[in-house]
Amino acid sequence: MSSHLRILLISREYPPNVYGGAGVHVEHLSRELARLAEVEVRCFGSQKIAGGHGQPAVRGFSGPAGLECTLNPRLQKAFEPLATDVAIAGADVQAEIVHCHTWYSMMAGLWIKILHGIPLVITTHSLEPLRPWKEEQLGSGYRLSSWLEKTALESADAVIAVSKETRQEVLGCYRVEPERVHIIHNGIDLNIYRRTDPLPVLRRYGIDPEKPYLLFVGRITRQKGILHLVRALPQVPAGVQAVLCAGAPDTPEIGREMAQAVEEIKKVRPGVYWIPEMVPVPDLRALYSGAAVFVCPSVYEPFGIINLEAMACETPVVASRVGGIPEVVVDGETGFLVPFEQNPSPNFEPRQPEQFARDLAAAAAKVLGEPERARKMGKAGRARVEAHFSWESIARRTLSLYQTLVRK
């Protein structure tokens, strides 16, 4: 499939400014689409790449200087993206379709749809109504981000949900006709994420290569459940190390909470390694490859690219049975799914946090206690990723959706 279609992708994140799954998604989707069509990426930052010859053109934008002088810090986090969206939408547009990712960029996409009369596609990597902890980060600006998302999604020509569960959540939260909501999973670059020799990287980080370790990768946010995993560590079998690649805290408060929790655990359990900065992909690949088990304790996860990354490196996965994770991790085949019963209050915390921590530890111990089964799970995970989650197939499905909308 090839196309002369001109595509505009808009995202807050794009390399080198990537801190979450949405940024990874846009990076790889844009590169794969550029092999099939003409692609421009507009993002937050100062990036400037000419593109062409099968590569996307990339242009970074920022809002007006001095905005921070008029707003308190938390409101600024909600308001600044709007200023950048104005700059993005105000630049000349030659595209025939615009595709936005996360609420930060949605107003730019909606304004471009209105101004230029082209179809708007939005990929939902998460939904604001299902992330109440964002109020810690944004204050009353959380109401603004929720309104922005609602307005854009209900105006979009097509909404891409990254899992079946996310599609149901979109239909439950917003007035969007079912026929406008399409399921296209996230993907992974199989050439980047594959099993590799972990030894040099383990030595550099001071991790004992002679002892097994469990691995966590993710931001320090309520959503990722990192604090539940830290509190579960005393129940993990003795002699097992824990490597926590956890950075970019949502707020200073949760950053301090994480630091205190790790400090307390280290007093009673040796072999806990916290890497608080964003880990380069080559190092991350090595850490995945060396791990005896990867643990994803998320309390909300529309999809979870990190599980694909671990599986691609042939590592068995223990993950919460939430959101789109069961569409990725096959219980008993590529790892284990941990039951998750949500607290009735709207904070998405587990109803029984101590039981959830025990279940995480027990599932990890089960993998650690059966090395041969764990090896087979790792092989099955790699095979599943190869069969279902390549970026090439995802880009072709996305392009097919674009073409349908443009023809209409």
DSSP 206: T
Q: Residue 11 corresponds to which amino acid?
A: S
Q: For the chain (length 408 residues), average pLDDT per consecutive 10?
A: 84 90 91 96 96 93 69 80 94 97 96 98 91 80 92 98 93 96 93 96 96 96 92 94 93 92 93 93 97 96 92 98 94 96 68 91 97 98 94 94 95
- pLDDT score at 68: 60
Beta strands per DSSP E along 281-366? 293-296, 317-320, 335-338
Say if residues 321 and 338 touch (Cβ distance below 8 Å): yes
Say if residues 178 and 159 touch (Cβ distance below 8 Å): no
Say if residues 74 and 138 touch (Cβ distance below 8 Å): yes
Query: Cβ-count burial of 241 within 10 angstroms (0-12 exposed, 13-18 middle, 19+ buried)?
Result: buried
Pull the structure tokens for residue 346. 């709207």
- pLDDT score at 407: 92
Q: Which residues contact 88 (CB under 8 A, 6 or more apart)?
A: 10, 42, 61, 105, 108, 112
Long-range contacts: 392-397, Cβ < 8 Å, 24+?
Answer: 392/32, 393/187, 394/29, 394/32, 394/184, 394/185, 394/186, 394/187, 395/29, 395/32, 395/33, 395/35, 395/36, 396/1, 396/36, 397/184
**Cα dihedral sign, 344-348-349-352:** positive
Cα separation, 161 vs 124, whole angstroms: 5
Q: Domain residue spans in the chain?
A: 6-187+390-407, 199-388
- pLDDT score at 225: 92
Task: Render the burial of 99-133: b for 16+ CB within 10 Å, e for the rest.
Answer: bbbbbbbbbbbbbbbeeeebbbbbbbbbbbebbbb
Q: What homologous superfamily is domain 199-388 in, according to CATH?
A: Glycogen Phosphorylase B; (3.40.50.2000)
Q: Which residues contact 369 (CB under 8 A, 6 or more apart)?
A: 237
What HEC string does 212-271 produce?
Answer: CEEEEEEECCHHHCHHHHHHHHHHCCCCCEEEEEEECCCCHHHHHHHHHHHHHHHHHCCC
**pTM, entire model:** 0.81
Phi/psi of residue 296, nearest 5 degrees: -120, 95
Please give the CATH topology (third level) of the domain spanning 6-187+390-407: Rossmann fold (3.40.50)
Q: In terms of DSSP bridges, do strands 97-101 and 120-124 run parallel, antiparallel, or are they unpaired?
A: parallel
